[in-house]
């Protein structure tokens, strides 16, 4: 009998708020196989980061739970590396030391000193940050700090890589370069990836599966789309591939539908950061 590698069952997340419990997620059920690349997509505030934080063990579901390789997840662990939405580096450590901290945690016993040093440099080179190894997070740009966060996560060779909008703050060229590197690394290591993105093209290019979430509150899995495109994938040749075009249209259709529902509930939301973010994904949808 084949058991799921990662399984979310009946997950509810209710946050305590001054106005009473706020049910962000309701009845999320997901089975993910080893080595699957899964993207989570959905409008701003629907609960994507909350799902990721539950898998990371940073949040405990109020009902149901998450099981990884037969063990219930209730705390963070080095086999589940996280790339946060806001990069979350230690500000007092240099770029090199931030990656070193994670590498020490995982490989102190299995790698020699020089091997660890080479491995840290290799990962910094991968994200094109080796030149800034001695700088502190406060001395580099947001996009650069984000790349260090990616290097730190990759350097842990995690069996599950959790990424919250990892490429959102990067310029197009760096973004494309890192997307390609991530695809290569993932093929090589066969790690499971759960990535949150607002970018439809990114989701289709990288994923084996796109989980589309309904709008919150009480958000759940709306659609589960399998992306059956051969690997390795090449962004240039895929652009005209009818299957690829079909997949991205499916995702756009879903997002537009949910956008209409949002506008129906709250037609005048402009000015608030949340609204501008959902406008951002709408603009992305329109651009595509
Ligand atoms: N600690 C908390 N207390 C109360 N409400 C919370 C808390 N964390 C998240 N929420 C609410 O839960 C919902 C889901 O939040 P979450 O951050 O998971 O959304 P998201 O899909 O990641 O959004 P975005 O795309 O903007 O990052 C939102 O309505 C948010 O306000
Ligand atoms: Mg989020």
Q: pLDDT at residue 44 above 80? A: yes
Q: Which atom of ligand 1 is nearest to 13's Cα?
A: 12
Three-state secondary structure call for residue 231? coil
CB within 8 A of 185, min separation 6: which ones?
Answer: 126, 154, 191
Confidence of residue 262 (pLDDT cuts 50, 70, 90): confident
Given this model, what pLDDT does residue 104 score? 95
Which residue has its alpha carbon closest to ligand 1 atom 29?
45
Q: Which atom of ligand 1 is nearest to 217's Cα?
A: 29
Q: Which atom of ligand 1 is nearest to 274's Cα?
A: 26
As a whole number of angstroms, the distance between CA 148 and CA 91 comes to 12
Confidence of residue 274 (pLDDT cuts 50, 70, 90): very low
DSSP 8-class letter at 2? P
As a whole number of angstroms, the distance between CA 46 and CA 29 comes to 16
Across the range 98-117, mean pLDDT stands at 95
Which residue has its alpha carbon closest to ligand 1 atom 16?
47
Please give the distance, rounded to the nearest whole angstrom, from the Cα atom of residue 59 to the centre of ligand 2. Answer: 14
As a whole number of angstroms, the distance between CA 81 and CA 31 comes to 19
Please give the distance, rounded to the nearest whole angstrom, from the Cα atom of residue 250 to the centre of ligand 1. Answer: 25
Confidence of residue 189 (pLDDT cuts 50, 70, 90): confident
Which residue has its alpha carbon closest to ligand 1 atom 30?
45
For the chain, the average pLDDT equals: 89
Which residue has its alpha carbon closest to ligand 1 atom 25?
44
Comparing 16-20, 203-207, 221-225, 279-283, the range with the smallest average pLDDT is 279-283
Q: pLDDT at residue 32 above 90? A: yes
Q: Counting ligands in written order, which one lies closest to the CA of residue 15?
A: 1
As a whole number of angstroms, the distance between CA 10 and CA 162 comes to 20
Across the range 255-265, mean pLDDT stands at 82
Across the range 143-155, mean pLDDT stands at 91
Rounded alpha-carbon distances, angstroms, from residue 130 to 92, 133, 136, 181, 229? 18, 5, 13, 16, 34
Which residue has its alpha carbon closest to ligand 1 atom 9?
50
Q: What are phi and psi of 30, to 5 degrees?
A: -150, 135
Name every protein residue with a CB atom under 6 angstroms from any ligand 1 atom. Answer: 15, 17, 22, 24, 42, 44-50, 216, 277
CA dihedral 153, 210, 202, 180 (to 10 degrees): 50
Rounded alpha-carbon distances, angstroms, from residue 171 to 141, 158, 177, 218, 230? 12, 26, 10, 34, 27
Given this model, what pLDDT does residue 2 score? 54
Neighbours of 93 (CB within 10 A): 14
The reply to whether omega before 117 is within 30° of 0 (cis) is no
Please give the distance, rounded to the nearest whole angstrom, from the Cα atom of residue 235 to the centre of ligand 2. Answer: 26
Given this model, what pLDDT does residue 280 score? 47
Q: pLDDT at residue 267 above 70? A: no
CA 62 to the chain's CA centroid: 22
As a whole-number percent, the residues of the chain with pLDDT over 90 amount to 75
Given this model, what pLDDT does residue 287 score? 41
Please give the distance, rounded to the nearest whole angstrom, from the Cα atom of residue 117 to the centre of ligand 2. Answer: 33
Which residue has its alpha carbon closest to ligand 1 atom 12?
24
Three-state secondary structure call for residue 229? coil
106 touches 46 (CB < 8 A): no
Q: Counting ligands in written order, which one lies closest to the CA of residue 216?
A: 1
As a whole number of angstroms, the distance between CA 153 and CA 147 comes to 10
Confidence of residue 216 (pLDDT cuts 50, 70, 90): confident
Q: β-strand 192-196 against 6-17: which pairing, if any?
A: unpaired
Q: Which atom of ligand 1 is nearest to 52's Cα?
A: 18
As a whole number of angstroms, the distance between CA 51 and CA 230 comes to 28
DSSP 8-class letter at 270? T
């Amino acid at each position: 009998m084949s058991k799921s590698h990662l399984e979310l069952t009946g997950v509810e997340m209710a946050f305590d708020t001054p106005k009473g419990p706020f049910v962000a997620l309701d009845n999320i059920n997901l089975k993910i196989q080893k080595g699957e690349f899964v993207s989570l997509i959905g409008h701003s505030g629907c609960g994507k980061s909350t799902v990721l934080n539950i898998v990371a063990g940073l949040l405990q579901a109020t009902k149901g739970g998450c099981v990884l390789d037969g063990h219930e997840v209730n705390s963070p662990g080095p086999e589940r590396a996280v790339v946060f939405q806001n990069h979350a580096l230690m500000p007092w450590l240099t770029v090199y030391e931030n990656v070193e901290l994670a590498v020490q945690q995982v490989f102190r016993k299995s790698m020699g000193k020089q091997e660890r040093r080479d491995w840290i440099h290799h990962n910094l080179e991968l994200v094109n940050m080796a030149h800034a190894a001695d700088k502190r997070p406060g001395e580099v740009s947001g996009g650069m700090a984000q790349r260090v966060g990616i290097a730190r996560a990759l350097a842990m060779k995690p069996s599950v890589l959790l990424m919250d909008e990892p490429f959102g703050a990067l310029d197009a060229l760096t973004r494309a370069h890192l997307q390609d590197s991530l695809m290569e690394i993932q093929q090589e290591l066969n790690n499971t990836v759960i990535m949150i993105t607002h970018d439809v093209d990114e989701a289709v290019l990288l994923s084996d599966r796109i989980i589309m979430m309904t709008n919150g509150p009480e958000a759940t899995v709306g659609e589960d789309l399998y992306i059956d495109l051969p690997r390795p994938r090449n962004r240039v040749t895929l652009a005209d591939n009818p299957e690829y075009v079909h997949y991205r249209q499916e995702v756009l259709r879903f997002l537009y539908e949910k956008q209409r529902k949002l506008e129906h509930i709250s037609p005048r939301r402009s000015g608030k950061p949340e609204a501008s973010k959902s406008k951002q994904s709408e603009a992305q949808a329109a651009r595509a």
